[in-house]
Structure 1
Amino acid sequence: LATLADGLIREVGAAPGERFLQNIALSFDASVSDLLMALTSGAALVLNPAPQPATAGDLAGLIVRHRITRLTLTPGMLATLTPREVPTLRGLHLGGEALPAETARRWAAAGVRVVQAYGPTESTIAATMSAPLRAGETPHIGVPVANTRALVLDEALQPVPVGVVGELYLAGAGLARGYVGRPELTAERFVACPFGAGERMYRTGDRVRWSRHGVLEFVGRVDDQVKVRGFRVELGEVEAAVRSHPAVDQAVVIVREDRPGDERLVAYVIPEPGATMDPAALRAYTAEALPGYMVPSAVVTLAEFPLSASTKVDKRALPAPDYQEQSAGRAPRGPREQLLCDLFAEVLGLDRVSIDDDFFALGGHSLLATRLASRIRSAFGAEVSVRTVFEAPTVARLAPAVDNAASRPAPARVLPRPDRIPLSFGQRRLWFLNRFEGANAIYNMPLALRLTGDLDVAALEAALGDLVARHESLRTVFAEDETGPHQVIVDAEVARPGLTPQPSSAERIDDDVALAARYAFDLAAEVPLRVWLFEVSPREHVLLLVLHHIVADGWSMPLLMNDLGAAFRARRDGVEPSWQPLPLSYADYALWQQDVLGDEDDPQSPLGRQLGFWRDALAGLPDEIALPVDRPRPVVASYRGDRVPVEVPADLHRGLVDLARQCGATVFMVLQSAFAVLLSRLGAGSDIPMGSPIAGRTDDALNGLVGFFVNTLVLRTDLSGSPSFTEVLRRVREADLAAYANQDVPFERLVEMLNPERSLSRHPLFQVMLSLNNTEQAPAGAVSGVDGLSVSAQGVGAGVSKFDLLLGLSDGTGPDGEPILRGILEFSVDLFDRETAEDLATRFVRLLAAVVANPEVRVDRVPVLTTDELTRLVDGPDGTRRDL
């Protein structure tokens, strides 16, 4: 209490001659604040003579009548006053709720000393306190008071970087012992502090972040994070957007469920004096700053907010809105817009979409944009590009673009089969590499499943035969004659894989799987699928499928799991699988691809035009970028690799999503920009080429096929001229959209056209690969659903790396159900030590946090040092600190 009194007196300005009003109920811990300040500073304390605290209508009169100069109250109560009503007030001590920026500005501009404090009862009233806020300064909760520590931690109780939101934990002398008679709650909220032996800390349940100015900014309650339409929403962010409207004085946003199962965001606002509130205009205003799912469904205008006994806003007393007056978005105005709304909803996995909902704000990304463009081509017969979706991301804006679009090329279809079936463009390079380098495991794609329970081996073997019969690509041999390579489709019965359990054990199963995954295919002599069944115990098996990349891609793997699961369940029941027949096969695709792209020697053909684009886009591309390697590049790459984990936590992931939305980009583009900045800061130069896979399934008929459709785009990042990070992101967006519009040229054709200096020591055109896998994945138990058998993924460590570095990230879910990114940084052991790769992964996540906190930072100023490196630089050999 002595520490608290000292801080309050200093910041609020308590002194002899000042007059405090005791208007807070004595049952509320904040009432101690006025008592302390008055009694320890020599100021006068006026006790409210009424049995209850003064209400909004009486408070101003009480202040004027008793010439009150200093006052403690909540921002909600302060909203009922204006500076002109209470001219004697010179100091405000605020707490209990977040302080709106406009409220702080109004009182600070009037010359009133405004101090924002924060503190739960469990930490003796106030744990942090701001200095007096300046007019126009963003409200914050300051710094810890003396003898108190504020720790901003993630879910793993690790400190988060500056600018990243985490949960606030408090430690120090002010902590309570616990809750009387509630040991379980005490154990849950008062936890061991990992940063001090024997020290405790209190888990506040509040979300905050350190600003770059060294003060704490309050974001909201952990339980203020709600889910609406399947999206996680931070109510504080919505409130901030609503409050920023010039006609809004105060705002509160809540989730209401006025009809069972129909949860909606509702904003309650108090307008500025004299302002007129138009709910539709306010919703349109917030839609410019927020994703569609965060825009309130209704806006309710009030003269004042209902307050609880502790003078906080009583959210339970807020009235229900009239939803009929406020549509949640304009409905389609005709059959064309209705069909587009249906396509948006289908691709995004939503129940409904209005014509004003933004595709990317609802969770869209470049892959889904590609899928939407494909759906539009099929439905309207119109050629709509991914760039068009980016530039017109709502149905209302996209509909005219569809009307004006050119007719689509001929859809994927079955064509007459010649005697010699050509390879697709993508297959040609993999075939060439297999012949040039010899049989190896570099392009193997292993899929391992751990099967626990009663396994019907005969049913599984039959299901594998069904799988091979369904997908021709799995039974294709790549023969060669004097005219070159061609596809030979093997009869399904001949290609049916046998399944003989091989003995293994819990101790050696990982090694057995890894060894089998390195099987070297001879594509000219055998089908590109091998299957093993390892028996760990009578009730524990591991099924391993190894495919060569020439017949499959990342999209194919969930298809394989789903089809295998359906066939296995059917065979266990003694019947054949009843799946729908595929509209065409991969061989049909290879023929259609040649037909639709045309002759590359014709500059007006699609292939000729796209080759011209890439010739210009990749002119002057560096043969090799300088990476922070641990040893020189060998003459011949061994392709031996290892990997380290990478994880982007939920708060940082939200920051990436917000940054992408603000810049009209995708999360992938933010990741690409950040990775390029990191490599550049570590010596790679200002021209950073990266490879990135793109699905390549530009027609709906291809979506169910197992095959090699993926193409590799060379994405070039220009970092010249010391730009800001947002400028780099703008450049990346333009370059990537142009690349997406010219994605049909196979990578191997680019290599032939550009003819870079060939080397067996490195990958041509780029040495760094970046991948963000946000495709829909097959569920982990895709082949389960049979009584007595459960399925889980079995890790496969093949120890291979095709590139110097590969950063592969996927959408995931954290322990609390929030979206995160997780993946791996795969590296060539020819060049890197594991410790170096771990440092790179750490630096990358730190850099992401830095650019999210300050997107306008110049890229040559982005911090990339690890904590240990910074300590070594700042601390001299004798332990003295140096200025840098």
Structure 2
Amino acid sequence: MSTSRVDASDFAKRGELEAELLRSRRGRAERIPSLPRQPGESRFPAAVSQQGMWQGIERRPGPALAIISGLRLRGQLDVGKLTDAWNMVIARHETLRTALCMEHGQLTQVIADRLRVPIEVTRVSGLAECDEISRQEVDRRFPLDQRPLARLRLLRLADDDHIALLLVHHIIADARTLEVLVRDLAVCYGAVVSGTEPVLPALSVQWSDFASWHARRLAGARGAELTAYWSERMAGALPAELPTDVEPGDETPEEAQLGGMVNMPVGCSLFAELWKTAKKRHTTLYTVGLVAFAVLLARNSGQQDIGVNAPISYRDRTELRDLVADFSNDVIVRVDLSANPTWDELIRRTHDQVVRDFLHNDLPPHLLAPHLDGTDLMERMAQVQFTAEREPEIVEKALGLRVERVNPPRQYVLRPLSLRLRHDDQDAFVLLRYRANRFTHARAEQLATDYIALLGELAAQQHRRVFD
């Protein structure tokens, strides 16, 4: 076992981190009160995060911010019972009965106490037609003043073979939402078919309850603390210089967001080494993957301060885990490559800073922007993104149905460059998304290849300096 020298400054840093964690936990211990509902429709102010997303949509209209997922269902599917199950899910989650409207100058959640919707069924000739319909679904607008802000559509390949397309507007959904919806739908379908009551986790609060509580929190001491922290963290920040090989031209908002994806396996043996590296350094796979991505950008640009957008979920309370809602927030993590550190030094350095940043994860960017040098700084810093996450689990069998995840094609890309390290317990894949007005597909493939090579270098040569 290797040892390293720990001085007083190390203990001071760890004490500071522990104190911040304790403060965060005390905040989470505060109970979220339930708001009174009215018969027919209830009205509440939109969440602070929804106000920021609304402003962004108004400022830069373009393709709908839809989160899309697909399931292939093989077996005898009862569409009528699936429709009943879908409406049970809508009844369970207020966000699926919510419209967002401007009323008296305020963005307002308008929540119906009841809502029933049909499921559209379309017979298709093959998977190519499924892909085309998926693209059309993404192009269909999601008017925010019309509910529900989610669509479930069935594509029938055969009487015993369907693809279910599920689209949810990002203003009421994050990545976890898709897992919740698929689970709830499977449980409710099973209950309808068997004539029993669905067994699902109780929901002690709804999104509007959280939104009200969170807004009060941000208006108080927590908001001031977050603003001070991020104002200091963002001082002197510059956007990452992207290794592009295409110059953007004059395009419509839709054309500017057209892009593609590269999906490349990491390999089981390298993935196992990355896990060992993370555990040895008492850090996470996220930090290890982030460090490699920052070095990829730094070696292409020569920058020693790499800012990367990090979407963080603040479902850090038990009562929030099973809600259909958007609990994601974007923060900018900065990786400091000054003084040409070794991989080992960079991992340790980045780990401590990421921990601090993630403890300050719930300030929406539009509230921070006025406090920075240039109101568009956050937007420019967010042009490149990194995430590392587990493959979501799905129900593989449900009352005679065999369920398989499918990935509908996505023609729009939110950022010029984003890299996701997707993994389970045995293997990982690099999913690199890029805008076609900044990168060719060949360039994107090369970046993904170079990234995996850097993961190998990190795992095998931890005492090598990153710029050597």
Q: 1:486 aligns with which of 88, 108, 126?
A: 108
**Aligned counterparts, 1:780-859, within 5 A:** 780-781=395-396, 784-787=397-400, 789-812=401-424, 819-859=426-466
CA distance in 2, matches of 1:568, 1:409: 35
Report whether the alignment pairs 1:609 with 2:240. no
Once the two structures are TM-superposed, the CA of residue 794 in structure 1 deviates from its matched residue by 2.1
The 3-state SS of whatever aligns with 1:685 is coil
Once the two structures are TM-superposed, the CA of residue 470 in structure 1 deviates from its matched residue by 0.4
Structure 2 match to 1:503 = 123
**Aligned counterparts, 1:642-681, within 5 A:** 642-681=260-299
Taking only the aligned residue pairs, the percentage that are identical comes to 26
Once the two structures are TM-superposed, the CA of residue 475 in structure 1 deviates from its matched residue by 1.6
- Specify every segment of 5 or more residues in structure 1 that has no aligned partner in the other structure, as ranges: 1-240, 245-287, 290-384, 392-400, 600-604, 814-818, 862-884
CA offset digits 1:269-307 (Å, max 9, x no partner): xxxxxxxxxxxxxxxxxxx99xxxxxxxxxxxxxxxxxx
Structure 2 match to 1:523 = 144
Once the two structures are TM-superposed, the CA of residue 437 in structure 1 deviates from its matched residue by 2.8
8 Å CA contact 1:439–1:522 kept in 2: the answer is: no
Report whether the alignment pairs 1:779 with 2:399. no
**Aligned counterparts, 1:743-758, within 5 A:** 743-754=361-372, 756=374, 758=376
CA offset digits 1:509-550 (Å, max 9, x no partner): 222223223322111234311221111122211111110011
Task: Give the partner amino acid of 2:442.
Answer: E
| Alignment length (residue pairs) | 451
The 3-state SS of whatever aligns with 1:800 is coil
Report whether the alignment pairs 1:413 with 2:33. yes
8 Å CA contact 1:756–1:764 kept in 2: the answer is: no
Once the two structures are TM-superposed, the CA of residue 416 in structure 1 deviates from its matched residue by 4.4
Structure 1 match to 2:55 = 432
Report whether the alignment pairs 1:626 with 2:241. yes
CA distance in 1, matches of 2:370, 2:259: 27
**Aligned counterparts, 1:262-301, within 5 A:** none
8 Å CA contact 2:309–2:385 kept in 1: the answer is: yes
Normalization by structure 1: what TM-score? 0.48
Q: Please identify the structure whose Cα radius of gyration is greater.
A: 1
Task: Give the partner amino acid of 1:845.
Answer: I
Seen in structure 2, the aligned counterparts of structure 1 residues 390 and 772 have a Cα distance that, compared at 3 Å, is: farther
8 Å CA contact 2:263–2:429 kept in 1: the answer is: yes
Task: Give the partner amino acid of 2:383.
Answer: Q
CA distance in 2, matches of 1:390, 1:447: 37
8 Å CA contact 2:266–2:429 kept in 1: the answer is: yes
CA distance in 1, matches of 2:206, 2:16: 26
Structure 1 match to 2:7 = none
CA distance in 2, matches of 1:513, 1:766: 27
Once the two structures are TM-superposed, the CA of residue 727 in structure 1 deviates from its matched residue by 2.1
Seen in structure 2, the aligned counterparts of structure 1 residues 772 and 765 have a Cα distance that, compared at 3 Å, is: same
CA distance in 2, matches of 1:724, 1:572: 59
Report whether the alignment pairs 1:719 with 2:349. no
Alpha-carbon RMSD: 2.8
Seen in structure 2, the aligned counterparts of structure 1 residues 834 and 850 have a Cα distance that, compared at 3 Å, is: same
8 Å CA contact 1:642–1:828 kept in 2: the answer is: yes
The 3-state SS of whatever aligns with 1:555 is helix
Q: 1:693 aligns with which of 305, 311, 322?
A: 311
Structure 1 match to 2:82 = 460
CA distance in 2, matches of 1:557, 1:825: 21
CA offset digits 1:58-102 (Å, max 9, x no partner): xxxxxxxxxxxxxxxxxxxxxxxxxxxxxxxxxxxxxxxxxxxxx
Which 4+ stretches in 1 moved above 6 angstroms?
A: none
Q: 1:548 aligns with which of 145, 157, 169?
A: 169
8 Å CA contact 1:640–1:799 kept in 2: the answer is: yes
Seen in structure 2, the aligned counterparts of structure 1 residues 857 and 790 have a Cα distance that, compared at 3 Å, is: same
Structure 2 match to 1:184 = none
Seen in structure 2, the aligned counterparts of structure 1 residues 389 and 674 have a Cα distance that, compared at 3 Å, is: farther
CA distance in 2, matches of 1:464, 1:780: 16
8 Å CA contact 1:386–1:740 kept in 2: the answer is: no
Structure 2 match to 1:170 = none
CA distance in 2, matches of 1:766, 1:742: 17
Structure 1 match to 2:212 = 591
Normalization by structure 2: what TM-score? 0.89
8 Å CA contact 1:413–1:592 kept in 2: the answer is: yes
Q: 1:558 aligns with which of 165, 168, 179?
A: 179
Task: Give the partner amino acid of 1:509.
Answer: C
CA distance in 1, matches of 2:113, 2:58: 24
Seen in structure 2, the aligned counterparts of structure 1 residues 437 and 722 have a Cα distance that, compared at 3 Å, is: same
Structure 1 match to 2:324 = 706
The structure with more helix, counted as a fraction of residues: 2
Once the two structures are TM-superposed, the CA of residue 698 in structure 1 deviates from its matched residue by 2.1
The 3-state SS of whatever aligns with 2:175 is coil
Once the two structures are TM-superposed, the CA of residue 596 in structure 1 deviates from its matched residue by 3.0
Task: Give the partner amino acid of 2:398.
Answer: G
CA offset digits 1:18-58 (Å, max 9, x no partner): xxxxxxxxxxxxxxxxxxxxxxxxxxxxxxxxxxxxxxxxx
Seen in structure 2, the aligned counterparts of structure 1 residues 758 and 744 have a Cα distance that, compared at 3 Å, is: closer
Seen in structure 2, the aligned counterparts of structure 1 residues 586 and 386 have a Cα distance that, compared at 3 Å, is: farther
8 Å CA contact 1:561–1:778 kept in 2: the answer is: no
CA offset digits 1:634-688 (Å, max 9, x no partner): 4666111100013222221222222223323222111111111111101151111
The 3-state SS of whatever aligns with 1:712 is strand
Task: Give the partner amino acid of 1:581.
Answer: A
Task: Give the partner amino acid of 1:592.
Answer: W
Structure 2 match to 1:108 = none
- Specify every segment of 5 or more residues in structure 2 that has no aligned partner in the other structure, as ranges: 5-14
8 Å CA contact 1:412–1:699 kept in 2: the answer is: no
Once the two structures are TM-superposed, the CA of residue 692 in structure 1 deviates from its matched residue by 1.1
8 Å CA contact 2:28–2:316 kept in 1: the answer is: no
CA distance in 2, matches of 1:575, 1:499: 22
